[in-house]
Amino acid sequence: MKAAVFIKANQSFVVKDYPVPEKLDDNYSLIGIESSGLCGTDVHIHEGAIGMPGDIIIGHEFLGKVLKMGEGNNLDCMGRLLNIDDRVAVNIIEPCGKCILCRTGGDASCLHLGETITYLKSANIPPHFYGGFAEVNVSPTNYLQKIPSSIPTDVVAAFLCAGPTTIRGVDYAGGIVKDETVIIQGAGAVGLFATLYAKKLGAKQVIMIGSGSNALRLDLAKELGADYVLDIRKTTVEERKEKIMELTDGIGADLIIEGTGNPEAVKEGLGLLRLRGRYIWAGQYSDRGTVDIPSHLITFNALQIFGSAQFTSNDREKYFSFLEEVPDKWSAITRVITDKYKVDDVNAAFDKAESGKSIKVVFVK
Ligand SMILES: [Zn+2]
Ligand SMILES: [Zn+2]
């Protein structure tokens, strides 16, 4: 079966054919991958902004069917019995459950996450298929997570990583309080999911600040629940601030969810919050440089800032439950997936994702 192997930053991926293991180690399962999303993080890895070893199979947001299970554990990460043909999402990390962070609600940032990552092993070592950009995957059975059968695959796949990422950040910030004004920065996967999530959780108004580089992004933002859309290519920072103040009786937004990957967005966002406003800083997973922020702004306005990285299987479970509650939005969610590729066409897929013209690129069977 084929796998797209990451050789080195800024180099083409190499598609390799590896034998599928005949026999699995105890407590491991073989998954036939049906959908595997290309995340902003993967683009950053490819550009060298996140250091990674060579000869690995990246791809961390994928789902498929259980094809085979080794002896031993047959329970998923939530303790549910797994059967052959069950549709599962595959986690690439599992918190240790014992460290200070795991014991105090910070398990998404478990101290031992690095030791639990499955896909950093060289793809040349059997059973080869450690990551998501491949036709099959071999993972510890307790890293699998059953997906409710009622939700269509494309609907689950669209926000498989962005959804739980947003849910984790919102949780850190104390949830979304009814009647709040929520600003979403960025019309990528995180921003679009955040728009839907904020509106469904009862935000009074959701304002999307994003780029219409692909017109579909802002159209989908509206369809998913944005009451106002401010295109950063057509408005200035000052014009946007004026509009936000007008929409919030001059006090600023209650909550902002940042999902841009651009540090400049943080500077703008902090200036749009009301006193004691909450800022979820979730879109800067790789180092994109620094930005000047007037330090008194945070103190004087008593802002609350929540950094957020990764998520846990509990967050993904909440994501599945949330999707089950919004069937009216399934068709819009499906349209977030703009491009589908086979693993064979990995380099074309990355070209497309890096061009900014797609929204969500996924590899399919
Ligand atoms: Zn991701
Ligand atoms: Zn831990």
Residue 10, judged by CB atoms within 10 A of its CB (0-12, 13-18, 19+), counts as: exposed
In one-letter notation, the amino acid at residue 69 is M
Give the full edge-to-edge strand order of the sheet including 205-210. Answer: 228-231, 205-210, 181-185, 253-258, 273-281, 304-307
- CA of 308 from ligand 2 middle (Å) equals 16
163-182 pLDDT, tens digit per residue, is: 999 999 999 999 999 899 99
Cα 110 to middle of ligand 2, angstroms: 4
Angle value at C-alpha 213, between 207 and 219, nearest 5 degrees: 45
- Distance, in Å, from the CA atom of 28 to the CA atom of 188, rounded to the nearest integer, reads 34
117 CA from centroid of ligand 2 (Å): 13
For residues 98 and 309, what is the distance between their CA atoms, to the nearest angstrom?
Answer: 19
* Helix boundaries (H) for the chain: 40-47, 100-103, 113-116, 153-158, 162-172, 189-200, 215-224, 237-247, 263-270, 295-300, 313-324, 330-334, 346-355
Which helix or strand (DSSP H or E) is residue 337 part of?
A: strand 337-341
Q: Tokens 């019995």 — which residue?
A: 81
Q: Which ligand is nearest to the CA of 97?
A: 2
pLDDT at 287: 81
Say what percent of the chain tops pLDDT 70. 100
pLDDT interval class at 89 (50, 70, 90): very high
Average pLDDT over residues 9-23: 97
Read off the amino acid at residue 161.
C
Query: In the prediction, which pLDDT does 214 show?
Result: 85
Kindly tell me if the per-residue pLDDT of 285 is higher than 90.
Answer: no
In this prediction, residue 256 has a pLDDT band, given cuts at 50, 70 and 90, of: very high
Cα(260) to ligand 1 centroid in Å equals: 13
Amino acid at 2: K
End-to-end CA distance of the chain: 11
Nearest ligand to residue 116 Cα = 2
CA distance 85 to 64: 9
**With contact defined as beta carbons under 8 Å apart, do 301 and 314 qualify?**
no
DSSP for 43-99 reads: HHHHHTSS---SSB----EEEEEEEEE-SS--B-TTS-B--TT-EEEE-S----S-S
Ligand showing the shortest atom-to-Cα distance for residue 112 = 2
Q: What does the CA dihedral 329, 40, 358, 187 come to, rounded to 10 degrees?
A: 50
**pLDDT at residue 211, rounded to an integer:** 93
What is the distance in A from the centroid of ligand 2 to the CA of 269?
32
Phi and psi torsions of 146, nearest 5°: -60, 135
Pairwise CA distance, residues 123 & 130, whole Å: 7
Among positive and negative, which fits the CA dihedral 97, 101, 104, 106?
A: negative
pLDDT at 286: 79
Say how many Å lie between the CA of residue 61 and the centre of ligand 1.
Answer: 6
**pLDDT value of position 288:** 81
Q: Which one of the ligands is nearest to 111 CA?
A: 2
Give me ligand 1 centre to Cα 105, in Å.
21
Cα distances (angstroms) measured from residue 216 to each of 135, 155, 231, 319: 29, 17, 12, 23
Q: How far is the CA of 295 from the centre of ligand 1 (A)?
A: 31
According to the model, what pLDDT value does residue 261 have? 84
Tell me how far the alpha carbon of residue 345 lies from the centroid of ligand 1, in angstroms.
20
| Statement: residue 241 has pLDDT above 90 | yes
Burial status of residue 309 (CB atoms within 10 A of its CB: 0-12, 13-18, 19 or more): middle
Q: How far is the CA of 106 from the centre of ligand 2 (A)?
A: 8
- Comparing 63-67, 172-176, 258-262, the range with the smallest average pLDDT is 258-262
Beta bridge partners of 88: 64, 146
Nearest to 30 by CA among 98, 96, 86: 86
Please tell me whether residue 225 adopts helix, strand or coil conformation: coil
pLDDT at 284: 80
Look at residue 107 in the predicted model and tell me its pLDDT. 95
Please state the length of the chain.
Answer: 365
Q: Model confidence at 356, in pLDDT bands (50, 70, 90)?
A: confident
Look up tokens 């209650």; give the residue.
Answer: 254
Distance (angstroms) between ligand 2 centre and the Cα of 108 equals: 8
**Interval between CA 310 and ligand 1 midpoint (Å):** 9
**238 near 229, Cβ under 8 Å?**
no
**Which bound ligand lies closest to the C-alpha atom of 96?**
2
Distance 63 CA to ligand 1 centre (A): 13
Output the pTM of the full model.
Answer: 0.96
Mean pLDDT of 329-358: 96
Q: Assess whether pLDDT exceeds 90 at residue 326.
A: yes
